Amino acid sequence: MFKSGVGFLALFGLGWWLLASSAFDGSVRPAGVVAGCAVAVGLMLAARRVLPASAGGPFPADRRRRFLQINVVQWLLILITAQVCARAGDPVLIPPLIAIVVGLHFLPLAAVFEQPRLRVPAALLSAAGAAGVAVWLVDGPDRTVRLVVGLVSALSLWGMAIWTVTGAASAPGRGVRE
């Protein structure tokens, strides 16, 4: 599964980072894009180098089915959220509400993968979404909503990816190369 999910975490983290970068003008935005791409590529290369070849291998059919069900529900909720916010004239709420949906999807995934640590990005992405809604509720600028939600979400996913890679690197029988 894309080397124990690190590839997904890196790429979706990049998506959130790009959202955060959209809050800036001038030369800051392209520099942010380059930095985000470098982080995502670095994480994927680290996963390829450090994680065993069997990492993220095929799941039993029942787990794979449950994983697909969770993700189908997540994507349907994302599409519905985007449509409702757009039709209500509040597109700025799309990222915070999507962050909450994505965060909540990690809760059943924690059970499917038998990885309680997935509750950490669940809490952090949900908090990022709630913070974005709070900024909107106090009439904060749209760019601040994007920055808060995007930055916290990106760092949460990238942090989880780093945790996965460093955990594998320090696992017994797997010495960290110096």
Reported as a pLDDT band with limits 50, 70 and 90, residue 167 is confident
Reported as a pLDDT band with limits 50, 70 and 90, residue 52 is confident
SS3 76: helix
Residue 175 has a pLDDT of 44
Residue 103 has a pLDDT of 98
Distant-in-sequence, close-in-space partners of 44: CB < 8 Å, separation ≥ 6: 3, 6, 7, 10
Report pTM: 0.89
Residue 117: alpha-carbon gap to chain centroid: 14
